[in-house]
Amino acid sequence: MVFFMIKKQGIATSIIIAIIAGVFVLGGVAIFNMQPEEEIMMAEAEEQMREGEEMMHEGETMMEEGEEMMDKAEDMMGKESEEIMEEGFTGERLAGSEGVPLLEYNDTDYKKALESDKLVVLYFYANWCPQCRLEFPKMKKAFDGFDSENVVGFRVNFKDTQTAEAEKELAREHGVGYQHTKVLIKNGERIVKSPETWNTEKYISEIISNI
């Protein structure tokens, strides 16, 4: 009986030991299994940090590029504004728009127009001439209808009470012998000279074909 009880206690002890050993084994396995997961999580966190740093670097680069583009755009706008100011005419506008003006002749605007790539149209006008007074409104109507900005016109006084010395010189330069003569100039060269009477359609067709 005593032997049986000792044997029974030994078995129980063995079982307890086995259970404890099993617990340690399972705990060790769990701890072993947790280590790779922690390492993976740490690696993922480090990767996310690297990606975040790369995104911040890319954002800084994009901001720098955006600033450069804005600087370039401002420079271009400034240059365009300067060009517009340089092209602006100061004389009295008789017809047309600011971009397509028909002006009372003045030497400064005329020289500025010659330096541009615009077609320059001269109409030699005398205030005593009935034909000039009838034709000039047709020229004004043509200029009022233009959308292109590649033409500028001048009414040049010719042998009347308002003719300036520069206008006399201009008439001599182009060999103008009669009032109501039209002269078209492109790139500094005279391409049309006509003393004939033009109607509005003629003005439009001659100007468009020579722009």
Other beta carbons within 10 Å of 144? 13
Judge whether residue 166 has pLDDT over 50.
yes
Cα–Cα distance for residue pair 47/100, rounded to 1 Å: 64
Which of 67-71, 125-129, 133-137 is predicted least confidently? 67-71
- Residues 137, 190 within the same domain: yes
- Residues 41, 130 within the same domain: no
Stretch 66-91: mean pLDDT: 61
Q: What is the structure's pLDDT at 85?
A: 40
pTM above 0.85, yes or no: no
Q: What are the tokens at 121? A: 């149209």
Judge whether residue 18 has pLDDT over 90.
no
Overall number of domains in the chain? 2
Stretch 113-120: mean pLDDT: 94
Angle at 129 between CA 126 and CA 135, to 5 degrees: 90
Structural domain range at position 63: 1-87
Cα–Cα distance for residue pair 179/195, rounded to 1 Å: 8
From the list 150, 141, 157, 146, the residue with the least C-alpha distance to 106 is 157
Judge whether residue 13 has pLDDT over 80.
no
Q: What are the tokens at 195? A: 């003393």
Q: What is the structure's pLDDT at 84?
A: 41
CATH of the domain at 163: 3.40.30.10
Q: Which residue has the tokens 């079982």?
A: 15
Work out the mean pLDDT of the chain and round it to a whole number.
Answer: 81
Which of 35-44, 69-78, 107-116, 167-176 is predicted least confidently? 69-78
